[in-house]
Structure 1
Amino acid sequence: MAPTKKDAKEEKEAKLTPQQSADLIMDYLRKQNRPYSATDVSTNLKNRVSKAVAAKLLKDMHERKEIEGRAAGKQLVYHVIQDDADEADLEKLQEMDVETSRLKSATLELKAEEKDLRQTLRQEGAQVPLPELRVAVDTLRQEEAELSARLATLKHGEIKPISIKDREQINFEHRKWSRTAAARKKIRKELWAEIESHLGKEKAAETKEMLGLEF
């Protein structure tokens, strides 16, 4: 009886030996050059190595000092052994990922604050106390400057990316949040136009000069 397509597929995807699985995992870690958990390794290898097998092999390889391992939250992650320079770059990249996430959250919070301020202006008009307005504007300007500076650091820092893939991801995040910063500048101008409509041009000009605004 001739082999069926199913038989051919099963033969092609024959179960790997422990050594073949270990070699496959090591090759993957070398190519990616960044930390992965057993679950990530198994998933990214399309389950050619099961999660349980990957966890055991990674643990064994770590104990034999063939790879590095460390705790990351509630799970263990593994990566190829780095020299001192590469290890520093890897840690810097992880720090940048954390900082990017923090900047995302901070930007969303600032956007919500701006929305609340605009709503307050619509409701109260010229009744907003000038001291409160000064504090709100100064705070937003300071936070915007800090956000722009941190994004610029992520874009133009002296940290050498671990891989092309990581560099492209960082550049993508920078472009995305730079656009967000630009949008916030636009919102700030619209917000001032709202204030101007309530105060009148002459009073708004005096207030603008008093606050030291330059837009």
Structure 2
Amino acid sequence: MAKEKSEKAPKEKKVSADEANDMVLNYLKKQNRPYSSADISANLHNKVTKTAAVKILKVLVEKKEIVERQAGKQSVFHMPQNAEEGPTPEDLAEMETRTEELREETATLNETLKSLRATYSKLNSTLSTADLRESVTILESERVQIIERLTLLRSGTIQPVSKEEKDKVDKDFKIWDKTASARKKIAAEMWSMISANCADATAAAVMREGLGLDD
């Protein structure tokens, strides 16, 4: 018994010249952006061949229904743009100025981000958040003690001390005060980086309380 021949898929009906013309024109209207003839044919799933697309586009350009312009080594086609709807020279100048401002702001922010990342990397390789908090607490306590001692020494209510002892206390105070200030600055920078990554102000407040930064 002879095998039955497999059924062939029905051929897709070819579009007429008018239908092809309408397809190309409607496609450009709908997309409202430039396309080459090859792109138009491909995007229409080759219902309009590349050769046919070239001919149709040429006719549409001659009829001034579409616009042709060069984009590198190929021609692209798009719908005419209404000059009244486009930006004025003043608008373009303003946009150019704003664009330049944004470029400068972006460059500044990138530099700031680079600096913060470097600081964060340095801190991350030395002290953990818990260690930093503990160090700040210790330094604050020592600073208070030094201030109290210095106040008593300068008030004259206790036994006078030598100039060398006073100089040593002053020197120690300056060292610890400078160190405490540096630690505070580092903590502030870290918090700035952490809070910037929080979803909102509430999340930032919860995070800050959890870290005990206001204790």
TM interval, shorter chain, is 0.3 to 0.5
Say which structure, 1 or 2, has more relative contact order (CA 8 Å, 6+ apart).
1
Higher helix share: 1
TM-score (norm 2): 0.39
Please, what TM-score do these two structures have when normalized by structure 1?
Answer: 0.39
